With several copies, the nearest count.
Chain A
Amino acid sequence: MSRAILSEIKKDHIHKLLAKGKRVDGRAWDEFRPISIQPRFSDTAEGSARVKLGNTDVLVGVKMAIGTPFQDTPNKGVLSTNAELIPLASPTFESGPPDENSIELARVVDRGIRESQMIDLEKLCIEPKKEVWMLFTDVYVLDYDGNLFDAATLGAVAALMSTIVPAKENDKGEDFPLPINHIPISVTAVQIENSILVDPTLDEEKVAAARLTVTTDENGDLRAMQKGFAGALSIDQINRMIETSQRLGNELRNMLG
């Protein structure tokens, strides 16, 4: 349902290589593709970043506006995360309102940011109960070659880190950078037969049985997880994936400076 079909030949190829402990693109099982992070891509957004994981390419922008807080959090800014799988990025993406895949992507990215308490939302309160800053984080996928969760989380985190609150043009004092408390990083791995592969390409996702995304903070603590695909994971596999996420999370976090 959520994944397109892969030719039998490609599948065989992936499986045969895996049997020898190899990946099609020569990476180690726990190795990310080349990562490029380009913050402040956009002049029109308060913050933005373009992130590439190999051929996967996402653009994330953050827009801010003044609004009213939720009743149960009268002194906190408001976070909103959206993802668009635009048809420019893949023959399997269709025009129209967000489908289950883009909704899941947005919600997983959102949980990573929200549950890690990345942003100090209380500092985004202008006047309790009345005025707070609202943050709209929009993820656009431009080129789709697998592992959108990690690309989108990395893009959103980089975009938020680059965000300047536009206080001045709203008559709310001087501009200031978004107050950041933590830096959540997600690491996704898939399980194919007995192998675990980090940062799967689209072809690897297509042959994978199960997927696990683990978002950790600087301390290696768990902040969000999402298991996906129809396969089952043993507790050992889960533990290995979590440990890998903790280790690689730190490496990626360093790239964000």
Chain B
Amino acid sequence: MGGNSNVKLIDDNGIRIDGRRVDELRPIKIEAGVLKRADGSAYVEFGKNKVLAAVYGPRECHPRHMQDPSKAIVQCKYNIISFSVSDRKRPGPDRRSVEISKIISEAFEHVVFTENYPRTSIDVYIEVLQANAGTRCAGLTAASVALADAGIPMRDLVPSVAVGKVNDQIVLDLQKEEDNFGQADLPLAIIPRTGEVILMQMDGHLTKAEFDRALEMGVGACKKIYALQKDALARRYAIDKAVDEAEEPAGEQPAEG
């Protein structure tokens, strides 16, 4: 977080530099089943973020000493490609990617019925093709759809979004400039059916009251993203001429609030 910057990112009418209101998501696009080789896949755009996720497994766990005789392990690798950011990033994992991979892996360990597949590994790959703040949330959203596309039983889909603080206001789904000059960032992922939080990080400066407002805004937005996830899977199944199992059919614009 850049801290208490003087850069004006919200105008007097409460409109952000990309035209959104403070509680408005960027345009979101979700597509399931976009790759042939992977067992499951999804493509997601959150504004200018472009993210691809693929799932392989359950398959033999490699290296062997990581096998768990009682359940599958979920191994997520989050990666950003070299030309997805302003200055070319040298290929390969950096410390940030390692941390994000770890917390996303933990989140999915909770939702996947890992006990169904002892000794195996479920491998989730997230590739950020173009980055514009909020990539871990877009990636998690995509990976969740890819897991469903792979037919892996889960407690629920996992929508994810970041809430932040900009010009002393709580705003939803920060884009790049807001992230650079903002005052706080709070990435979240929830289980919609229970409203529980399975991923949460925060950095910057929030009073407890601001946090409460941010959490509320984030949970609400996650429900909208959830509808788009289900819709993407519904379209995918429809294309496959399979039974449409989506509970609430929804268009590109979410059904709820």
Contacts and interface: CB of A to CB of B under 8 A. Distances in A.
Interface of A: 1-2, 41-45, 48, 55, 57, 59, 61-63, 65, 82, 84, 86-91, 95, 97-98, 100-101, 103-104, 106-107, 111, 114-117, 136, 138, 140, 142-145, 212, 220-235, 238-239, 242-243, 246
A224 B184 CA distance: 9
Contacts of A98: 91, 95
Interface of B: 1, 3, 35-38, 48, 50, 52-54, 56, 59, 66, 73, 75, 77, 79, 81-88, 91-93, 95-96, 98-99, 101-103, 105-107, 109-110, 123, 125, 127, 129-131, 186, 191, 194-208, 211-212, 215, 219
Contacts of B88: 63, 65, 136, 138
A88 B35 contact: yes
A100 B203 contact: no
Contacts of B125: 86-88
A231 B207 contact: no
A119 B199 CA distance: 29
Contacts of A89: 35, 37-38, 54
5 contacts: A59-B81, A63-B88, A88-B35, A115-B205, A222-B202
B101 A100 contact: yes
Output the residue of A41, A89, A227 with the most chain B CB within 10 A: A227
B208 A222 contact: yes
A143 B205 contact: no
A88 B200 contact: no
Contacts of A97: 92
Contacts of A232: 110, 191, 194, 196-198
Given A44-B130, A104-B102, A115 B204 contact: yes
A227 B201 contact: yes
Contacts of A104: 98-99, 102-103
